Amino acid sequence: MDHKDRFIDLSLSGAALAEAGGHVLAAYVLRVAEGCDFLTVVARLAAESGRGTALPLSTEDGFSRSLDVVAYEADAESGLVRLAFPLALFDFNVTDGGASISSFLNLLAGNTQGMEGVAALKLHDFHLPESYLQGFAGPAATIAGLWRHLGRDESAGSMVVGAILKPKLGLRPGGLAAAAYEFWRGGDLVENDQPQGNQGFAPLAEVLPLMADALKRAEDETGTGKVFSMNITCDDPAEMDARAEMALQAFAGMTESLAFHVDAYLAGPMALAHARRRYGGHFLSAHRAGHAAVTSVRSERGYSAFVLTKIARLLGASGIHTGTMGFGRMEGDESDRPIACMIAQDRAAGPYFVQEWHGMARSAAIVSGGINALRLPSFMENLGHTNFILAAGGGAFGHIDGPAAGALSLRQAEACWLERADPIEWAVEHPEFRRAFHSFESDADIIHPGWRRVFSPENTNL
């Protein structure tokens, strides 16, 4: 069987394929095993991607041949390979005709990941034509609804000051509600940390009523809306529903204050799609604990964080963890900016394709992982705006004056960047921001060397 002739056609134009709208396009970086010929492996990769084998098949006919996946770019030097997948290959729901990410990932990053001859294969980007993209639900609730609830401008309401409850595990029901209440006194949104569920020392039946009460008190005292984002990640949709039901009861009459949160990596597409379908009226956050096992820049297999994030918008996440682009403590760098742009715009350029979203609602970037008031201004400078959701853990609950001061320090950090003020001068007028220097001293030493001299007790100008 002549694989190369059948499965590689370098005369095809990616722009023409995208324009015609009959294919899903995918961009990979491929490294072939020692001794293997690059184009031979590319041809096998394309064959495996669609028909599931490179062997001749007695069952094949003209129709099945018309569904061949074809490589239209293959550069042995950079390893870049682009494949075109005919739309007819993809699976659609029997219930509503909707498209399925399990099917999409099965074809684009399924068995090919472990194929003979492949030393490394990573999916870095994909392009969906309008007809396929419309098969996905996309977000229902968006950040515009959060901003409305917070009394802000619905088109650009600026940073939602959010926190992830810390310690990750170990707070009992009263402790969780108290921590949340304290943060809400200065901030907007409190999110469960990913492993927080129905632990024996903090059963949901006890946590949720206390949390609802804490939120109500914070809303009454501050006169503004607050949000609790509850983790409903688990293995079984029925269990997820049971947890969500408990929350809906505890937060009865406070619909806008209740968001849900699922892990789009650990519990996967089914969890996100299910939550979107059942609780679409609520803001839906997508977390991704463990995703680096697949997406890490150090991993030459799997798919990138960019791909995972783009998928989460398709599945209907209102907000998606996008990382901190190198300004926090998790892996990432400044060049991750397109991740946040891709989910929040109508048309955006990824690393290899420009994607039109054809009116699909936008998702918001949730920024988390080692961010505190001192790190925020540079993060914002790189992103270029503040229309995102912050989810600070240690940066909120690690403030030496408590969670309310932590929240205020984060809000003041945003104002500092918006004013393009000098952070040290800004700190003089903004006590919670100033105390962030004392809370996160090692960051302060790196970002603002000399701060100790300015804020020393001997400096009587302060």
Active site members: 166, 287
Q: Which residue has the tokens 């919670």?
A: 432
Residue of this chain nearest to ligand CAP (CB atom): 393
Residue number with CB closer to ligand CAP (46 or 405)? 405
Backbone angles phi, psi at 197, to 5 degrees: -140, -115
CA separation (Å) from 233 to 121, 195, 260, 263, 282? 29, 9, 9, 6, 15
Question: CB of residue 403 vs ligand CAP: minimum separation in angstroms?
Answer: 13
Question: CB of residue 125 vs ligand CAP: minimum separation in angstroms?
Answer: 19
Q: Which residue has the tokens 């397109």?
A: 338
Question: CB of residue 139 vs ligand CAP: minimum separation in angstroms?
Answer: 18
Residue number with CB closer to ligand CAP (49 or 285)? 285
Question: CB of residue 119 vs ligand CAP: minimum separation in angstroms?
Answer: 28
Coil, helix or strand for 368?
strand
CA-to-CA distance for 317 and 267, rounded, in angstroms? 14
CA-to-CA distance for 394 and 151, rounded, in angstroms? 27
Q: List all residues 6 or more positions away from 7 whose beta carbon is below 8 Å from its beta carbon.
A: 42, 43, 44, 46, 47, 68, 69, 70, 71
Residue number with CB closer to ligand CAP (125 or 193)? 193
Q: Name the DSSP class of 402.
A: -
CA-to-CA distance for 380 and 367, rounded, in angstroms? 11
Question: CB of residue 291 vs ligand CAP: minimum separation in angstroms?
Answer: 7
CB 124 within 8 A of CB 352: yes
Question: CB of residue 330 vs ligand CAP: minimum separation in angstroms?
Answer: 4
Rounded to 10°, the helix 268-279/101-109 angle is: 160
Residue number with CB closer to ligand CAP (135 or 394)? 394
Residue number with CB closer to ligand CAP (51 or 288)? 288
Residue number with CB closer to ligand CAP (54 or 230)? 230
If one counts every other C-beta atom within 10 angstroms of the C-beta of residue 428, the result is 15
Question: CB of residue 367 vs ligand CAP: minimum separation in angstroms?
Answer: 7
Residue ranges binding ligand CAP (CB under 6 A) = 164, 168, 193-194, 288, 321, 323, 329-330, 368-371, 392-395
Q: Which residues of 151-184 are buried (b: 16+ CB within 10 A; e: fewer)?
A: ebeeeebbbbbbbbbbeeeebebebbbebbbbbb
CB 188 within 8 A of CB 160: yes
Q: Name the DSSP class of 335.
A: G
CB 175 within 8 A of CB 169: no
